[in-house]
Amino acid sequence: MNELAFQRQCRRLSWSYFGYFAVLALLVPYLGFYLDALGFSSRQIGELIAISTICRVIGPPIWAAIADRVGKLVPLIRFGVLSSLVLLVILAQAHGYLAVALLLGLISLFWSAILPQLEVVTLASLGAENHRYSRIRMAGSFGFILVALVTAEILALAGTESFPLLGAVLLLPLLLAVHKLDEPKRAFQDPDAPSPEGFWQRIRRRPFVMFIASTMLLQMSFAPFYAFFALYLTQLGYAPIAVGALISLGVAAEVAMFFIAGRLVVQFTVRRLLLFCLALTSLRWLALANFADTFWWLIPIQLVHAFSFALHHSAAMRFVHRYFPSEQHSRGQAFYVSVGFAGGGALGAWIAGFLWQQGDGAEFTFTLAAIAAFIGFVVAIFIREQTTRVEQTAV
């Protein structure tokens, strides 16, 4: 790839990330808001979000296997975007529980085809210029902030029932961006080749078991925030613009943390960073349970997202990278994302749906979220970081 083509590919990748996370800014914070407008109970909302999250667990391995078979990634990304767009249009016509559950599951399944393949395309395109990744990925954060800031106001004006159609409209620029992506050259690995030995033995050892358990507990604690935060603030009387601004503030704090997280994970041990983030997250949910009716409390609560997500994720990625040998990095990453993130999130959403009770159980739900994060803190104490390098050579 010559320099001109390389620069063009980088711009297209940046726009692809921008478009992907712009849509995500609608789908994640406002899905519970939309389901509430359809008349579903808190329990049903929790179940529907759990179903959607479970499909994000099973989707990535399926799409990765297909990508390895066909040897191309960009067509799979385009297919995921187009399928998600069509399904969102169909969702606008669905109102029954079973129909909505089926469509949300399918949307999550096809949506999960996009980002993992886009990450591989990006890294393969950059090659030795991989230091450019953070700048390209940053475009996604800006897309998220922009859409999160205005979505609440748009939904207030157009009606919450416009959620699926708004998602379909936001997908159009993403569809255009990924349509122009070039397929990069990458090393192809035979999918029938034997898997590296030792992976399943490694994930059963105590350091990783404690790590993945603490990650699941953290994501369980996040579930009521992801499912009900926008709805919670609206029920407390906050204006749509304030809701969007607070959601955007959390992402802005996340972006700022990503700028310095690389230095922090080198300066401090991973275990210490994980413990600090889990403890701070527990306090965050406790404050949200008790002080959400005061706007000025919500500012530091949202700023803590820099630690709850960005720093914890950076430290966790370092743990995974150090714990697994190079030939197992992708499998370790997939296990961390699907089981730790999506698995914990699905279980947490299901539980939160039972507890929320149309907002009457909000304080109790966030208090339990704080307890879940604290239990994650206790579990993380038993991660013995000095074993991670040793484990790589053990059979």
Burial classification of residue 255, based on how many CB atoms lie within 10 Å of its CB (0-12 exposed, 13-18 middle, 19 or more buried): middle
328 in Cβ contact with 196 (< 8 Å) = yes
80 in Cβ contact with 174 (< 8 Å) = no
Residue 8 lies in a domain: yes
Q: How far apart are CA 234 and CA 155, in angstroms?
A: 12
The count of structural domains within the chain is 2
pLDDT, one tens digit per residue, over 71-84 is 788 999 999 999 99
Asked whether the predicted pLDDT for residue 218 surpasses 90, the reply is: yes
Q: How far apart are CA 390 and CA 264, in angstroms?
A: 23
177/56 same-domain check:
yes
126/245 same-domain check:
no
Q: How far apart are CA 382 and CA 249, in angstroms?
A: 33
237/321 same-domain check:
yes
Quick one: which of 203, 138, 220 has its CA closest to 333? 203
- Out of 185, 212, 238, a domain closes at 185
The pLDDT, as a whole number, for residue 330 is: 58
Q: What is the mean pLDDT of residues 117-136?
A: 75
Domain that holds residue 250: 198-395
Tell me the CATH number at 357. Answer: 1.20.1250.20
Q: How confident is the model at residue 122 (pLDDT cuts 50, 70, 90)?
A: confident
The pLDDT, as a whole number, for residue 137 is: 76
383/345 same-domain check:
yes
pLDDT, one tens digit per residue, over 136-173 is 877 888 898 899 888 888 988 888 889 999 999 999 99
Q: How many CB atoms lie within 10 A of CB 70?
A: 9
| The token pair that represents 200 in the structure block | 């399943």
The pLDDT, as a whole number, for residue 83 is: 96
The pLDDT, as a whole number, for residue 393 is: 38
The pLDDT, as a whole number, for residue 3 is: 80
The pLDDT, as a whole number, for residue 215 is: 95
209/264 same-domain check:
yes
pLDDT, one tens digit per residue, over 228-269 is 998 899 999 999 889 989 998 998 898 888 778 878 888 899
This model's pTM is above 0.85? no
Residue 190 lies in a domain: no
pLDDT, one tens digit per residue, over 334-366 is 688 778 888 898 899 999 999 998 889 999 999
160/237 same-domain check:
no
Mean pLDDT computed over every residue of the chain: 86
Asked whether the predicted pLDDT for residue 27 surpasses 70, the reply is: yes
4/135 same-domain check:
yes
